[in-house]
Amino acid sequence: MKQSNKAYIYVSLAILFWGTSASAFKIGLLHSDYFQLLLYSSITALVILFLIIVIQKKVKFIFTIKVYDIKKSIILGFLSPFLYYTILFKAYSLLQAQIAQTLNYIWPITLVLLSIPILKQKLAFKSIIALIISFIGVIFISSKGKLFDYSITEPLGIFLALGSSILWALYWLYNMKDNINQIIRLFYNFLFAVIFIFVTTVIYSSLSISIYGLISAVYIGMFEMAFTYVLWLKALQLSRTTTKIINLIFLTPFVSLIFIHFILHENIYYTTIVGLVLIIVGIIIEQTKKSLK
DSSP readout, 173-219?
HHTTT--S-HHHHHHHHHHHHHHHHHHHHHHHS-S---HHHHHHHHH
Question: In angstroms, rounded to a whole number, what is the distance separating the alpha carbons of residues 107 and 264?
Answer: 24
What is the model's pTM?
Answer: 0.92
Q: Which pLDDT tens digit goes with each residue over 12-45?
A: 999 999 999 999 999 999 999 999 999 999 999 9
Taking residue 120's Cβ as centre, other Cβ atoms within 10 Å add up to 7
Every domain of the chain and the residues it spans: 3-92+153-266
**pLDDT 10s digits, 56-66:** 999 999 999 99
Give residue-wise pLDDT tens across range 196-241.
999 999 999 999 999 999 999 999 999 999 999 999 988 888 887 6
pLDDT tens for each residue of 135-184: 999 989 988 888 776 667 789 999 999 999 999 999 988 887 788 999 99
pLDDT at 293 over 50: no
Tens of pLDDT along 258-285?
999 999 999 999 999 999 999 999 988 8
Measured at the CA of 168, the angle between CA 138 and CA 64, to 5 degrees, comes to 170
Looking at the chain, the whole-number percentage of residues with pLDDT higher than 90 is 70
Amino acid at the residue 244: K
Mean pLDDT (the chain) is: 91
| CB-CB contact of 229 with 52 (8 Å) | no
Rounded distance between C-alpha atoms, residue 269 and residue 144, angstroms:
6
